[in-house]
């Protein structure tokens, strides 16, 4: 009987520990600075589809991966009420280029 109680206690502790590791999307967001020594190519011209109710168009952008730029196509994102979407962008920072990820800002 004691062995069964120990097993039940171990399972309960394991579940409680796993639950405490679960992070909500707001908590899980991690900021990583990305710098490139080469200027990003000009943005590609994308045909923006007609508006969709409840969605915001996120334009395409150049992502830095494996020491080169890779084009990420634009896409629809679910609208967040009370927030304004700011698309990703590259900004000159001295002799390098710094990437700023897209984000939702409170209005």
DSSP classification of residue 67? T
pLDDT digit string, tens, across residues 55-69: 999 999 999 999 999
pLDDT digit string, tens, across residues 4-50: 555 454 444 455 444 444 444 555 556 678 999 999 999 999 999 99
Domain holding 100, by residue range, is 2-106
Helix (H, G, I), strand (E, B) or coil at 95: coil
**How many domains does one find in the chain?**
1
Token pair recorded at residue 28? 């899980």
- 72 close to 62: Cβ distance less than 8 angstroms: yes
d(Cα 5, Cα 26) in Å, to the nearest integer?
37
Q: Are strands 61-65 and 96-100 parallel, antiparallel or unpaired?
A: unpaired
Q: How confident is the model at residue 105 (pLDDT cuts 50, 70, 90)?
A: very high
- 89 close to 40: Cβ distance less than 8 angstroms: no
């Amino acid at each position: 009987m004691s062995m069964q109680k120990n097993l039940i206690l171990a399972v309960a502790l394991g579940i409680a520990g796993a639950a405490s590791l679960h992070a909500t999307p707001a908590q899980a967001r991690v900021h990583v600075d990305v710098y490139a020594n080469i200027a990003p190519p000009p943005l590609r011209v994308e045909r923006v589809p007609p508006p969709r109710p409840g969605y915001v168009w996120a334009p395409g952008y150049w992502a830095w991966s494996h020491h080169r730029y890779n084009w990420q196509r634009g896409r629809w994102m679910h609208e967040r009420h009370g927030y304004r979407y700011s698309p990703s962008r590259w900004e000159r920072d001295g002799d390098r280029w710094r990437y700023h990820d897209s984000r939702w800002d409170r209005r």
